Amino acid sequence: MSEREQTAHTTYADAYRESMEQPEQFWLDAARAVDWDVDPTRALDASAAPVYRWFPDASLNTSFNALDRHVRDGRGDQTALIFDSAMVPTKTSYTYSELLEQVSLFAGVLRDQGVVAGDRVIIYMPMIPEAAIAMLACARIGAVHSVVFGGFAAKELATRIDDAGPVVLVTASGGLEPGRAIEYLPMVEKALQLSATPAHTVIVKNRDQIPGSAADYKSSGAAWFDWDELIADATPAAPVSVAATDPLYILYTSGTTGKPKGVVRDNGGHAVALTWTMKNLYNIEPGQVWWTASDVGWVVGHSYIVYGPLFAGATTVMYEGKPVGTPDAGAFWRIISEYKVSALFTAPTAIRAVRKMDPNAEELAKYDISSLDTLFAAGERLDPDTYEWATRVLDRPVVDHWWQTETGWAICANLRGLEPMEIKAGSPTVACPGYRVEIVDGRGQLVGPDTEGNIVIGLPLPPGTLAGLWRDDDRYVKSYLSTFDGYYLTGDSGYIDEDNYVFVLGRSDDVINVAGHRLSTGSMEAVVAGHPAVAECAVIGIHDELKGQRPSGYVVLKSGIDIDPETLRKELVARVRDQIGAVATFRDVTVVQALPKTRSGKILRKTMRQIADNEEYTVPSTIEDMSVLDDLTKLLRG
């Protein structure tokens, strides 16, 4: 489009009203900020409702919008990506021109390996620039990337390989954690052996700090190549135009059945929505420095380490390290000071970790953070204590906002670039334009202000949200759209107050939030139940001051089994770590005589969690044996 500027709304109320009453106009207007190969003439395609598509007659290239257009417009010498590793340590930066060159070359590598538009590429990498380069390279040639968090074990990686069906797997020799290195290549080889549909090509970025290289692995049936050797012989690939409705990526999120759900993000709606948020939600302009302290393996990393800031022409920081221990609780403040960060986006867990190590913010006093305008938090509920501490020590707005892997961007937020609003501790503020957020009871009836119920979103969801589940529209409809007619089920409970502020209280299914990572307790139960000594088990998410929630296991032993509880705990922890990954942080195991159940056999997990968290609870009328619950209460509450 020749006109790149969006129409400026002056108030949140105006923007929200137009997004509800005139969504075609609102989103076509927002689309002006995107470079299209074929301009959209309409926004929404409802022909296959309740599955919707955005900008159905348009085409574009995501990589072009993230890189080429900024170089074309004269900002090729501006820094696009800063990489800071506290683990190596090393510091590297790429201008837009340099990042475009690297992305074009790796896109050429993928093309030379036979990857074409629509093919899938698994990316299993640590927090290094090559992870972002691989993502953008896939987008450049129209391939569909699926990033798998580097903390997942071989079995979890194999499951994702089988579902996505990649032709290429891109990885590195390993990742670095405080005090240890994690070798990826043995896990990749094991995953390929476990997979029914393994990738035919593996490309390895070697890291000097971690042993192993592509040359060491020839036994899995795949061809293994060295990243740097392929780059050296590559020729750049030009951007390939794809339909706005074509998939950009698949990102797997925990499913309540234990089978991961492959959330599909499209190209067009994704570019429009994320570009809109950088200006209107985060108040970030071209040239400003933006830092998302997350991992590219999670949706926050996809949206706001890689794509969002680059769409906006900002400088994005990629940090390999921890909020504490690399080397101390001043790590975040060092990054802000050194790179003149305008806004930081992190999880409440990180803030709590810093507070725990440095409650008086003595490390903060060592750094100049005058560049910082706002701290944004998401991934889990920002509890009032953490909010108040961060607000006091930073003396800046601390802004909670709420969204999901499925939505790709904020459902509720305080839109700092559009109209900053009053902050209420415990609330992510109001519904973002495009999201009709409502509260319904168990029968799907709307409830009044301040009444807790199921948080739902009226259909259609706005651009940038999930286009469906990978090759499984039936599961998409069943999982999200069938519980309440006309609504998307968020799986969270909460309420809306008289000022239309939304309060999210927690998950209503068995997916728990551990330090911003959504993990299925059902998957953990399946692993624990596989131990030869375990008759049955329950894993629940209980409150944790640092991580928000942590998984806690309760096991009933098989009759006649005599095993030391600590030995059992260690074996179960090892099983979960091996089959799900260290990211699960599963450490608590309690042996019980029985689990509380309904007469139909359903374990009362919610009641168990309420007991463990010292919350009030109501005993279900369908309970089978009240004495079991009494015994458990004595155990959990002393």
The CATH code of the domain that includes 588 is 3.30.300.30
pLDDT tens-digit map of 76-88: 999 999 999 999 9
Answer for the pair 165, 120: CB distance below 8 angstroms, yes or no. yes
* Predicted confidence (pLDDT) per residue in 135-191, tens digit: 999 999 999 999 999 878 899 899 999 999 999 999 999 999 888 899 999 999 999
Residue 576 within any structural domain of the chain: yes
How confident is the model over 334-351, as pLDDT tens digits?
999 999 999 999 998 899
- The per-residue pLDDT for 258 is 59
Question: Which residue, chain included where needed, has tokens 């004595």?
Answer: 634
Residue 624: its pLDDT value, please? Answer: 75
CA distance 260 to 209: 32
Residue 216 lies in a domain: no
Over pLDDT 70: what percentage of the chain? 95
pLDDT (average), residues 291-297: 95
Torsion angle of alpha carbons 366, 368, 370, 376, nearest 10°? -60
Per-residue pLDDT reduced to its tens digit, 441-481: 989 999 999 998 899 999 999 999 999 999 999 999 999 99
Separation between Cα atoms, residue 525 and residue 519, nearest integer Å: 12
Q: Which residues are 171's β-sheet partners?
A: 124, 204
565 part of a folded domain: yes
How far apart are alpha carbons 316 and 309 in whole angstroms?
6
Model confidence pLDDT, tens digit, residues 395-424: 999 999 999 999 999 999 999 999 999 999
Q: Which domain holds residue 583?
A: 511-637
Cβ neighbours of residue 575 under 8 Å, at least 6 residues apart?
527, 528, 530, 531
Average predicted confidence (pLDDT) for the chain = 92
CA atoms within 13 A on the CB side of 169: 33
Copy the structure tokens of residue 296.
């590219």
Indicate if the alpha-carbon torsion angle 251, 453, 512, 556 is positive or negative: negative
* pLDDT tens-digit map of 417-427: 999 999 999 99
* pLDDT mean over 487-512: 87
6 is a domain residue: no
Phi, psi of 419 (to 5 degrees): -160, 95
Torsion from C-alpha of 285, 286, 292, 298, nearest 10 degrees? 110
Other C-beta atoms within 10 Å of 531: how many? 17
What is the number of structural domains in the chain? 1
Sign of CA dihedral 514, 517, 523, 524: negative
Burial profile 592-608: b = 16 or more Cβ within 10 angstroms, e = fewer:
bebbbbeeeeebbbebb
Over residues 540-572, the pLDDT tens digits come to 988 888 888 889 999 988 878 889 999 999 999
How confident is residue 621, by pLDDT bands cut at 50, 70 and 90?
low
Helices marked H in 73-122: 96-112
Q: Please give the residue that has the higher pLDDT: either 386 or 526.
A: 386
> Which residue has better confidence, 148 or 599?
148
Four-point Cα dihedral 522, 525, 527, 533, nearest 10:
-160
pTM metric for this prediction: 0.87
Identify the pLDDT of residue 553: 94
Question: Does residue 621 fall inside a structural domain?
Answer: yes
pLDDT band at 64, cuts 50/70/90?
very high
For residue 580, give the 3-state DSSP assignment.
coil
Three-class secondary structure assignment of 155-221: HHHHHHHHHHCCCEEEEECEEEECCEEEECHHHHHHHHHHCCCCCCEEEEECCCCCCCCHHHCCCCC
* Rounded average pLDDT over 94-100: 98
Map residue 488 onto helix, strand or coil. strand
Q: Which two tokens stand for residue 517?
A: 């990572």
Question: What is residue 349's predicted lDDT score, i.e. its pLDDT?
Answer: 84
Compute φ and ψ for 234, nearest 5 degrees: -85, 155
In a domain, 298, yes or no: no
Mean pLDDT of 21-44: 98
**More confident position, 312 or 598:** 312
Task: Record the tokens describing residue 239, joined without a space.
Answer: 């951007």
